[in-house]
């Protein structure tokens, strides 16, 4: 087997002689997968990747579709929307429009990764490097995951949720449960306290505490809604003005779980389950670029390391590189295949460039990244992975070179103008604004409307008022009425949503819709 020139930057534990390739065929066997995994694990250890133990599961294409349609949860409660997802996946797959995901990896301890049996051996190796060492180390290291998810408890919690939902279905009927789940799903993205650290979830604890909670909650809610009027109190204008909640609440599901007046205890528990799942997915939604970039960077680096050691041959590398370049392909904005920036490409480019800045800094790098240029690349990359999310990661590490390579440019679309304006491109004056704009694009509150619980008319008609704060005059989308109906189902009394710009209400939504005539 021939070896191309050794990459100079591998750690210094290189054996002087070339190893023999682990295999030369593309047929995989369990024995070979094990050998590859061990070899990859050895390389990963050289680079200091710290991972949860891995559990690699070989599955068939149908099973992959199953996994795919339950948003990657290995166990989930039953809901029609997963069925819809499944039909959609199956259709795409059968028509050959869509390859199935090469891999699904679950943030759990042990970290579960699925390999599809149809994959060739190089693909399996790529997936192992990508998922079992790339994503896995990200799950274990990144601060958002450390804060928001408890990898050791998630599977148990999912099992608990599945049983609980099934039990409710038995007791209260599938339809009743489905209604609640539909409504909760509509608000799933609003089930997180963005600034508070949540209590870790644990299935055993949940089950044990659940009874206790049922009683306690009912008591608490009764307290809140005790509405025997006390005249002198109502006279007091200060008290009357007081809003509930005193501070706006961004966690709609939590607020509903704790305060909705009419929900039965089992319904509250279901709200809680969906909220906890929303919380579990919260870090993933904020680290897509980093997470995929990190995993892609490492499958690339680890497999090259194996090549350097002579553990894989040229044929293997060719197949691997072909898949790799498909993964990081970025169609330009005017391509029919364009659907936004490819997170794999962006993340991979930033991490790769970060390494270059450390190892071979140019003057530009020294100016832009004085702390990083010329530093130990492994330490720098690990630091970046541990302590950032997409928004801050881009703000901190997107280099002019990457902007140039991807030929990034920013376009402003203002409905008041009759043309688009290019506001920044990949040139000297443009780098900083471009970077800021791209970072903002990955800010969750820029991507999703900012909606908070504003007030509950505790002493009046018990109506719930939500407030939307538009950014740059962007209004709410067409689903809003529908979502408000779901909020109404959960809350049980009138629900209002107002868009407030500079203290002025610019748009209102109501459920039930008020009669057209002037209501006095």
DSSP 321-390: HHHHHHHT----TTSTT--S--HHHHHHHHHHHHHHHHHS--HHHHHH-TTTTTS-HHHHHHHHHHH--H
When asked if residue 172 is in the footprint of other proteins (CB under 8 A), the reply is: no
Instruction: Return the residue of 3, 7, 98, 379 that touches other proteins, per CB under 8 A.
Output: 98
Smallest gap, in angstroms, from Cβ of residue 435 to other proteins? 9
When asked if residue 336 is in the footprint of other proteins (CB under 8 A), the reply is: yes
Q: Give the binding range for other proteins (CB under 8 A) out of 15-23, 138-146, 183-191, 384-392.
A: 183-191
Residues facing 78 on adjacent strands: none
Smallest gap, in angstroms, from Cβ of residue 126 to other proteins? 16
Binding map of other proteins across residues 337-376, x = CB under 8 A, - = no contact: xxxxx---x-------------------------------
Residue written as token pair 């710009």? 501
Q: End-to-end CA distance of the chain: give it in Å, rounded.
A: 87
C-alpha closest to that of 133 among 293, 351, 291, 295: 295
When asked if residue 46 is in the footprint of other proteins (CB under 8 A), the reply is: no
Provide the 3-class DSSP secondary structure of residue 309: coil
Of residues 204 and 411, the one with the C-beta less far from other proteins: 411
Window 482-501: residues binding other proteins (CB under 8 A)? 482-483, 486
Tokens of 498: 């107002």
Window 119-138: residues binding other proteins (CB under 8 A)? 132
When asked if residue 409 is in the footprint of other proteins (CB under 8 A), the reply is: yes
Residues facing 446 on adjacent strands: none
Instruction: Return the residue of 7, 25, 81, 445 that touches other proteins, per CB under 8 A.
Output: 81
Instruction: Return the residue of 9, 26, 88, 452 that touches other proteins, per CB under 8 A.
Output: 88
Give the up-direction half-sphere exposure of residue 63: CA atoms within 13 A in the CB hemisphere: 14
When asked if residue 448 is in the footprint of other proteins (CB under 8 A), the reply is: yes
Q: Give the binding range for other proteins (CB under 8 A) out of 7-15, 265-273, 312-320, 402-410.
A: 402-410
- The CA distance from 365 to 181, in Å, is 51
C-alpha closest to that of 105 among 153, 137, 83, 79: 137
Instruction: Return the residue of 9, 146, 172, 178 that touches other proteins, per CB under 8 A.
Output: 178
Where b means 16+ CB within 10 Å and e means fewer, 262-279 reads ebeebbbbbbbbbbbbbb
C-alpha closest to that of 53 among 131, 132, 159: 132
DSSP 441-461: HT-HHHHS-EEEEEEE-TTTT
Smallest gap, in angstroms, from Cβ of residue 309 to other proteins? 15
Instruction: Return the residue of 28, 139, 148, 190 that touches other proteins, per CB under 8 A.
Output: 190
Q: Give the binding range for other proteins (CB under 8 A) out of 153-161, 214-222, 223-231, 435-443.
A: 435-443
When asked if residue 207 is in the footprint of other proteins (CB under 8 A), the reply is: no
Instruction: Return the residue of 332, 503, 515, 519 that touches other proteins, per CB under 8 A.
Output: 332
C-alpha closest to that of 273 among 249, 257, 255, 284: 257
Smallest gap, in angstroms, from Cβ of residue 161 to other proteins? 15
Sign of CA dihedral 246, 248, 254, 259: positive
- The CA distance from 179 to 260, in Å, is 16
When asked if residue 425 is in the footprint of other proteins (CB under 8 A), the reply is: yes
Q: Which residues contact 433 (CB under 8 A, 6 or more apart)?
A: 410, 423, 424
Window 261-290: residues binding other proteins (CB under 8 A)? none
When asked if residue 503 is in the footprint of other proteins (CB under 8 A), the reply is: no
Provide the 3-class DSSP secondary structure of residue 135: helix
Tokens of 75: 């166990």
Window 26-45: residues binding other proteins (CB under 8 A)? 30, 33-34, 37-38, 41-42
Smallest gap, in angstroms, from Cβ of residue 345 to other proteins? 8
DSSP 4: P
- The CA distance from 321 to 338, in Å, is 22
Of residues 244 and 333, the one with the C-beta less far from other proteins: 333
Instruction: Return the residue of 25, 152, 322, 421 that touches other proteins, per CB under 8 A.
Output: 421
Provide the 3-class DSSP secondary structure of residue 169: helix
When asked if residue 91 is in the footprint of other proteins (CB under 8 A), the reply is: yes
Smallest gap, in angstroms, from Cβ of residue 178 to other proteins? 7
Q: Give the binding range for other proteins (CB under 8 A) out of 182-190, 233-241, 272-280, 298-306.
A: 182-190
When asked if residue 408 is in the footprint of other proteins (CB under 8 A), the reply is: yes
- The CA distance from 241 to 169, in Å, is 42
Instruction: Return the residue of 24, 152, 423, 445 that touches other proteins, per CB under 8 A.
Output: 423
When asked if residue 152 is in the footprint of other proteins (CB under 8 A), the reply is: no
Q: Give the binding range for other proteins (CB under 8 A) out of 7-15, 257-265, 329-337, 384-392.
A: 329-337
Instruction: Return the residue of 48, 83, 460, 512 that touches other proteins, per CB under 8 A.
Output: 83
Tokens of 29: 């066997």
Q: Contacts with other proteins: how many residues (CB under 8 A)?
A: 110
């Amino acid at each position: 087997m021939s070896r191309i020139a050794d990459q100079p930057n591998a750690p210094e534990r290189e054996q002087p002689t070339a190893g023999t390739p682990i295999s030369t065929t593309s047929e995989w066997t369990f024995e070979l997968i094990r050998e590859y995994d061990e070899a990859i694990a050895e390389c990963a250890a050289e680079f200091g990747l710290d991972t949860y133990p891995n559990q690699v599961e070989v599955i068939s294409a149908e099973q992959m579709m199953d996994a795919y349609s339950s948003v990657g949860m290995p166990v989930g409660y039953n809901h029609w929307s997963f069925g819809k997802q499944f039909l959609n996946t199956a259709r795409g797959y059968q028509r050959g429009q869509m390859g199935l995901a090469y891999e699904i990896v679950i943030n759990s301890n042990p970290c579960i990764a699925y390999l599809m049996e149809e994959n060739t051996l190089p693909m399996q190796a790529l997936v192992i490097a990508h998922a079992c060492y790339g994503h896995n180390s990200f799950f274990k290291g990144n601060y958002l995951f450390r804060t928001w998810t408890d990898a050791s408890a998630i599977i148990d919690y999912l099992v608990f949720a599945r049983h609980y939902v099934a039990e409710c279905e038995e007791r209260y009927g599938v339809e009743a449960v489905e209604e609640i789940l539909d409504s909760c799903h509509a608000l799933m993205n609003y089930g997180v306290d963005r600034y508070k650290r949540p209590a870790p979830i644990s299935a055993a604890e949940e089950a044990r505490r659940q009874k206790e909670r049922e009683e306690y909650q009912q008591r608490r809610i009764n307290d809140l809604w005790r509405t025997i009027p006390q005249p002198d109190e109502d006279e007091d204008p200060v008290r009357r003005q007081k809003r509930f909640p005193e501070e706006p609440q961004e966690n709609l599901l939590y607020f509903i779980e704790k305060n909705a007046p009419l929900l039965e205890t089992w319904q509250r528990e279901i709200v809680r389950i969906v909220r906890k799942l929303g919380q579990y997915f919260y870090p993933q939604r904020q680290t897509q670029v980093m997470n995929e970039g990190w995993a892609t960077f490492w499958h690339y680096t680890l497999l090259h390391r194996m090549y350097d050691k002579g553990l894989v041959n040229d044929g293997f590398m060719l197949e691997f590189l072909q898949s790799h370049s498909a993964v990081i392909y970025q169609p330009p904005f005017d391509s029919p295949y364009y659907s936004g920036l490819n997170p794999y490409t962006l993340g991979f480019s930033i991490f790769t460039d970060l390494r270059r800045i450390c190892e071979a800094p140019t003057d530009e790098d020294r100016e832009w990244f004085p702390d990083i240029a010329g530093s130990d690349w492994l330490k720098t990359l690990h630091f970046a992975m541990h302590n950032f999310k997409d928004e801050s990661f881009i703000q901190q590490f997107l280099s002019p070179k990457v902007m140039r390579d991807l030929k990034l440019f920013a376009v402003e679309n203002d409905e008041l103008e009759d043309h688009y304006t290019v506001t920044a491109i990949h040139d000297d004056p443009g780098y900083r604004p471009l970077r800021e704009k791209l970072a903002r694009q990955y800010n969750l509150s820029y991507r999703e409307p900012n909606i908070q619980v504003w007030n509950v008319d505790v002493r009046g008609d018990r109506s719930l008022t939500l407030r939307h704060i538009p950014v740059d005059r962007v209004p709410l989308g067409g689903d809003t009425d529908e979502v408000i109906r779901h909020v109404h189902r959960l809350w049980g009394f009138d629900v209002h949503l107002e868009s407030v710009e500079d203290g002025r209400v610019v748009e209102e939504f109501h459920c039930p819709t008020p009669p057209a005539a002037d209501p006095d």
